[in-house]
Structure 1
């Protein structure tokens, strides 16, 4: 009987152990399946939260100021959902800031960061000089600028007696000039980095010359006004190329090259005539609308967005080519052919702009233009540098940019002269329109 007892006990143990082993194997499989489903569910939840966070940000940017548009996320907070959304918002913002992951708009367009306001985009285009980011985009810009000059010069010809009494001639000269320029510019973005433009100015000028000495009296003043009817100025063409796109630490860097042609009326050979009532007063027979020479310039523009401000700076160098003219003399009855070489110039400027609202921005800037002396050389003669032809023109500028619509913008500016060579003030307005 003993030999029958052991097999029975073994069979009983087998029957008792087998179901247990099967249950543990099935449990491990179920655990793996549950873990995979849980991970998949969490990934879907995180992706949904990230999408919702981005949609919240997009609606917040596009909602009109002061509106009561409801934002996405009306679901009640359940469990850790709001925490998950906040985490997703943080991750999305960090990814957009460092450029590690592009985001996507509703129409499938991939962007690196949330779209800027319309006013910020207008300021960026104004300071960088380009419509970058929109390949095959065409823009036409019309603008009107008014500049006023008022200069005085005191000429003394004599000597001081007893350190208090001046003996001799005193001549007071004053020049008041008004320049009105209507400018039309065409811009074409060949790609998101390369742009070409063409600018055609039409210039109207009026200058009043005033001098003492009329009728032989030093205190008696006389004046004469010369007007230049609207005429085309110097046409110029340019190319802009974005060397470096803005990142978290670096600004946008745009390189530009411009060529200006002598299409306007040049000032060389214009004769000076004596005033009938004052031998001290001489006025030109007409006024120029251009400088008469070819000019090539190159420079860079730097633009950095630091919410809510935009910082910008620009540097340019202008080279004027020498040119020969049939007459360079201003004396009546005299014709002197010769060559003119205007001095090269360097211009720089810095400033910042602040977005006051979704559509309006205010900017402040300083600019300075330094010009070298010009020179003349009559045929067969020696080169002569013109004393006083060098210039230092500095101005402080205030601008207001307002986005009228998605396609049109109004840019207004006020310039205040800080040096005698700069206009006393200038006022301008222009309207870029994009197609």
Structure 2
């Protein structure tokens, strides 16, 4: 055989013999790769399964958290609805209202309080002090809150928003079946100077005669207990029983004496004041961008100690040419001595996030006949018929909700007191008096049954008390 052919043949035989070995070597390698690939896939699947389980757990935790939030919201909604007179509403509207960005259909905005006023905002003003002062809402009543749209609220429960009380009358009427007991304390301080020239002048800079200079400092504390209840959701009645403590100090140089020595005359008085009875009625159904109107009527009795029942420091007469003594009362009265009737109209206008309010009123004092004044030695000095002047008042302000519990109110109160008449003629020296007061009120709601209101007033006219401070804490039953 040719050597070349032999080599070829030997190579072929070797290849045939080695082929099974090569196949046997390749097969195990392929199976090993597949096993490795399968292990990798299993690891990736386990990692993805772990990730899915983690996401599922997080989703369940978020769902549980949302359920807890919804439960708290559902529990709080009845309380909130009772505070704001709001019926249950759609979640989106409630959320929009809480954000304070709701449109006209989402309800009236949150608002502050007297304050809640009174002589001013009747359970409107807030809106809120006694007739002509104040500090209502109650003035002290709960802070102002958002109101529901009139389209979604129960017509029987469309009450105006509350504001921190500034004035006498509260800003929101008491719901039917509810009772409010409101203790309050009011402090007022005033000082005035009076100069009287008795003599004649030779030239404008030279006076021949005497100068009567008097400085009067007056402190008044009034504690009151007020009770009110709702006849229905549109009408409430109120009774107020005050107790008054007053102290006056008059610094003067006695007239007709020519002495340079100053004399201090101090006097005080304490007793029950004039009891008041009031009623208020909501005239319309307000809402977002629509004002609420509340009419009020208040009667003031003469239960307090009358100015004509205290002894005046005069030996015989306090009028005419033969005046003896200081002419000042030896003890101070705690009532006006005249029955009064006051009508008022209050308006409240919600405008997110505030509530604007105002009030106009007229107080009529009934005249008395056969009036006498008691002087020293038990002598009665006849005064005849007395008719105090009527009082025209107005006020306005703004309430702002700081949060769900606190609210702030700013306002101004003004009253015009007409001249007093005696026996059909104006009393000599009697003039029309202007009383103006700037007011700042704050209210904090501790719970749905208890709140605290504080109002501070600063007089801006000479005849107005320099400062007044009123604290109220109404309790709801």
State the TM-score, normalizing by the size of structure 2. Answer: 0.64
Is 1:321 matched up with 2:361?
no
Matches within 5 A, 1:171-190: 171-190=212-231
d(CA) in 2 for partners of 1:87 and 1:388?
Answer: 58
- Cα pair distance change 1:90/1:212, threshold 3 Å: closer
d(CA) in 2 for partners of 1:304 and 1:128?
Answer: 16
- Contact map agreement 1:341 1:375 (CA 8 A) in 2: yes
Name 1:77's counterpart in structure 2.
none
SS in 2 for 1:134: coil
d(CA) in 2 for partners of 1:293 and 1:132?
Answer: 28
- Cα pair distance change 1:331/1:386, threshold 3 Å: farther
Name 2:289's counterpart in structure 1.
249
Name 2:106's counterpart in structure 1.
96
- 2:450 paired residue among 395, 402, 408: 408
d(CA) in 2 for partners of 1:422 and 1:355?
Answer: 29
- Cα pair distance change 1:214/1:329, threshold 3 Å: closer
Name 1:395's counterpart in structure 2.
437
d(CA) in 2 for partners of 1:388 and 1:337?
Answer: 15
The Cα of 1:286 is off from its aligned counterpart by 1.8
- Cα pair distance change 1:426/1:127, threshold 3 Å: closer
Greater mean alpha carbon deviation, residues 208-217 or residues 234-243: 208-217
The Cα of 1:236 is off from its aligned counterpart by 0.8
Q: Report runs of 4+ in structure 1 exceeding 6 Å deviation.
A: 59-62, 85-92, 109-113, 124-128
Matches within 5 A, 1:67-146: 95-97=105-107, 99=149, 101-102=151-152, 121=162, 123=164, 129=170, 131-132=172-173, 134-146=175-187
Higher fraction of strand? 1
d(CA) in 1 for partners of 2:94 and 2:243?
Answer: 55
Any stretches of 5+ residues in structure 2 without a counterpart?
1-66, 78-90, 109-148, 316-323
- Contact map agreement 2:212 2:255 (CA 8 A) in 1: no
The Cα of 1:217 is off from its aligned counterpart by 4.4
- 1:264 paired residue among 304, 329, 336: 304
Greater mean alpha carbon deviation, residues 94-103 or residues 260-269: 94-103
* Paired positions, count: 344
- Contact map agreement 2:451 2:474 (CA 8 A) in 1: yes
- Cα pair distance change 1:328/1:93, threshold 3 Å: same
d(CA) in 2 for partners of 1:88 and 1:197?
Answer: 33
Instruction: Write out per-residue CA displacement over residues 201-223 of structure 1, whole angstroms, 9 at most, x where no aligned residue.
Output: 10001011111148944532111
- Cα pair distance change 1:391/1:184, threshold 3 Å: same
- Contact map agreement 1:212 1:280 (CA 8 A) in 2: no
Name 1:147's counterpart in structure 2.
188
The Cα of 1:95 is off from its aligned counterpart by 3.7
d(CA) in 1 for partners of 2:234 and 2:405?
Answer: 25
Name 2:427's counterpart in structure 1.
385
d(CA) in 1 for partners of 2:325 and 2:168?
Answer: 46
Instruction: Write out per-residue CA displacement over residues 100-123 of structure 1, whole angstroms, 9 at most, x where no aligned residue.
Output: 75279xxxx99889xx9xxx6353
The Cα of 1:300 is off from its aligned counterpart by 0.8
- Cα pair distance change 1:133/1:223, threshold 3 Å: closer
d(CA) in 2 for partners of 1:204 and 1:102?
Answer: 49
- Contact map agreement 2:244 2:271 (CA 8 A) in 1: yes
- Contact map agreement 1:169 1:218 (CA 8 A) in 2: no
- 1:375 paired residue among 418, 421, 425: 421
- Cα pair distance change 1:267/1:325, threshold 3 Å: farther
- Cα pair distance change 1:350/1:58, threshold 3 Å: farther
- 1:233 paired residue among 252, 260, 273: 273
Matches within 5 A, 1:194-343: 194-213=235-254, 216-228=257-269, 230-268=270-308, 270-273=310-313, 281-328=326-373, 333-336=379-382, 338-343=384-389
d(CA) in 2 for partners of 1:57 and 1:94?
Answer: 27
- Contact map agreement 2:309 2:374 (CA 8 A) in 1: yes
d(CA) in 1 for partners of 2:171 and 2:440?
Answer: 20
- Cα pair distance change 1:215/1:372, threshold 3 Å: closer
User: How large is the RMSD of aligned CA atoms in angstroms?
Assistant: 3.7
d(CA) in 2 for partners of 1:112 and 1:399?
Answer: 25
Instruction: Write out per-residue CA displacement over residues 239-260 of structure 1, whole angstroms, 9 at most, x where no aligned residue.
Output: 1000012223321111001111
Flag the structure with larger Rg. 2
The Cα of 1:288 is off from its aligned counterpart by 0.9
SS in 1 for 2:162: helix
- Contact map agreement 2:413 2:436 (CA 8 A) in 1: yes
Instruction: Write out per-residue CA displacement over residues 401-426 of structure 1, whole angstroms, 9 at most, x where no aligned residue.
Output: 11121111111011101112211111
SS in 2 for 1:429: strand
